């Protein structure tokens, strides 16, 4: 007698999302019920994921560095990862600019009265030197408490590097870190199993509270952003996994589906990190590479956010009746690429990045208020793209390391 085939986790997550949409539509007239009684269950799921972020990053990166066994190798992997992330981010902005310029003739130019009524106070963007200084914490525990990921990554790298530098004397600590990492990953898998429930609860509340109106409002600019997201995923990531990693893109996207759906629902790269790591490992990425590359990417790789900056900047410019020049477009590419690093780990990073981009090309920052109401919809797509880009890098670096080891 044949054993019944079990439903896979990706399918369960998809079922959870669809069920959440349907149930949310049933509660359109009673959104407060979903906010009071259904959303809290999703919040518990998010809290469990966030609770795991710091231990996953610290022990996975430290273990990854230790398993690389050579500080020179750590530096080599770090440089390649950084260059890859910066290049894909720049390409993402260019794709966003091309797509949004094809549609800009359809964007409305708002009248002066409507524009004058806009109010948006941009958070202060961090100074470059402040960002650099803050990467190196003065307190070992504070970055972990505040989940400030760049300093946490630095701490993890220092721990791993210290174990390697200590040689035989550090071997015992290295084994302890490896054991703790294994325990953390087991806890992570327990939480991942309840992902369909978390996705269902969060999606139910999003639909019930916002209703179909959230999709209809500013539908064109949202559609333009998602067209750019999809093109970047299919062309850039498809090229990367096929040519650089030697993998069928369909296999890649199918394998990444659980993480992508979770990112779409939670709108948090950090919260999705445990599941991203699990998916990438199943696709064949080396454990020590993914442990290093993914947390790094969750902090500085923002391809989806970069596309959002480009699309939103051109749209807001059109609303103000401003025609952007080629020089302005080039400034958007440069500013948004650098901002993807400069705003890493800052709360509300997407809006801060956009404020920096608008300021650089002379567009009133108050224009952000035009799209602020539907930022959640932009965020769902851009977070999904961000974590997918992290995965392509992990697979490429893994293949490079395998080729190097085979020589």
pLDDT tens-digit map of 13-32: 778 878 888 898 898 888 88
What is the Cα 168 distance to its own chain's centre? 38
Encoded tokens for 370: 């035009």
- Let me know if residue 165 belongs to a domain: yes
CATH of the domain at 108: 1.10.3860.10
Q: What is the mean pLDDT of the chain?
A: 80
Q: Residues 208, 213, 217, 221: is their CA dihedral positive or negative? A: positive
Does residue 3 form part of some domain?
no
Question: Distance between CA 209 and CA 151 in Å, rounded?
Answer: 36
Examine residue 45 and state whether it is found in any structural domain, yes or no.
yes
Q: Which residue has the higher pLDDT, 368 or 265?
A: 265
pLDDT of 116 > 60? The answer is no
**Report for 101-105, 232-236, 379-383: range of highest mean pLDDT:** 232-236
User: What is the pLDDT, as a whole number, of residue 118?
Assistant: 44
Q: Is residue 2 part of a domain?
A: no
pTM of the model: 0.72
94 or 358: which carries more pLDDT confidence? 94
Report the range of poorest mean pLDDT among 86-90, 146-150, 276-280, 301-305: 146-150
pLDDT beyond 70 at 83: yes
For 250-305, the pLDDT digits (tens) are: 999 999 999 998 888 877 777 788 889 889 999 999 888 888 888 888 777 888 88
Whether residue 122 is contained in a domain is answered as: yes
- Residue 119's pLDDT band, with cuts at 50, 70 and 90, is very low
Residue 365 lies in a domain: yes
Helix and strand numbers (H, E) in the chain are 21, 0
* Predicted local distance difference test score (pLDDT) of residue 272: 83
Packing angle, helices 128-135 and 326-342, rounded to 10: 30
Burial-class residue 364 by CB neighbours within 10 Å (0-12, 13-18, 19+).
middle
- Total domains in the fold of the chain: 1
| Boundaries of domain holding 94 | 9-406
Residue 232 has pLDDT above 90, yes or no: yes
Per-residue pLDDT tens over the stretch 309-327: 888 888 888 877 888 888 8
Least confident of 40-49, 103-112, 117-126, 172-181: 117-126
């Amino acid at each position: 007698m044949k054993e019944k085939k079990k439903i896979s986790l990706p399918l369960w997550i998809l079922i959870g999302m669809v069920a959440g949409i349907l149930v949310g539509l049933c509660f359109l007239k009673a959104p407060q019920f979903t906010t009071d009684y259904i959303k809290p269950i999703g919040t518990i799921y998010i809290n469990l994921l966030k609770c795991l972020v710091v231990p996953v990053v610290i022990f996975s990166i430290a273990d990854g560095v230790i398993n690389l066994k050579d500080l020179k190798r750590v530096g080599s992997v770090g440089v390649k990862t950084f260059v890859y992330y910066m290049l894909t981010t720049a390409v993402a902005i260019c794709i966003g600019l091309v797509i949004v310029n094809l549609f800009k003739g359809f964007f409305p130019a708002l009248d002066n009265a409507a524009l004058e009524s806009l109010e948006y106070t941009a958070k202060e963007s961090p100074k470059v030197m402040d960002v650099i200084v803050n990467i190196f914490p003065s307190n070992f525990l504070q970055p972990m408490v505040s989940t400030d990921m760049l300093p946490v990554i630095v701490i993890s790298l220092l721990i791993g590097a210290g174990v390697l530098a200590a040689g035989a004397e550090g071997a015992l600590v290295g084994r302890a870190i490896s054991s703790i990492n294994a325990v953390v990953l087991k806890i992570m898998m327990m939480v991942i199993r309840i992902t369909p429930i978390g996705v269902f609860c969060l999606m139910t509340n999003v639909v019930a509270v916002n209703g179909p109106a959230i999709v209809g409002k500013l539908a064109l600019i949202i559609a333009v952003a998602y067209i750019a997201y999809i093109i970047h995923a299919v062309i850039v990531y498809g090229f990367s996994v096929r040519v650089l990693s030697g993998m069928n893109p369909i296999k890649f996207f199918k394998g990444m589906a659980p993480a992508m759906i979770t990112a779409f629902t939670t709108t948090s790269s950090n919260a999705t990190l445990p599941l991203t790591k699990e998916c990438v490992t199943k696709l064949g990425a080396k454990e020590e590479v993914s442990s290093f590359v993914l947390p790094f990417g969750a902090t500085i790789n923002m391809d989806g956010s970069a596309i959002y900056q480009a699309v939103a900047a051109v749209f807001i410019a059109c609303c103000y009746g401003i025609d952007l020049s080629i020089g302005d477009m080039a400034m958007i590419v440069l500013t948004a690429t650098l901002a993807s690093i400069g705003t890493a780990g800052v709360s509300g990073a997407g809006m801060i990045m956009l404020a920096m981009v608008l300021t650089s090309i002379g567009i009133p920052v108050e224009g952000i208020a035009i799209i602020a109401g539907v930022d959640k919809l932009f965020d769902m797509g851009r977070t999904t793209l961000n974590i997918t880009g992290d995965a392509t890098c992990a697979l490429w670096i893994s293949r490079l390391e395998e080729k190097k080891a085979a020589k």
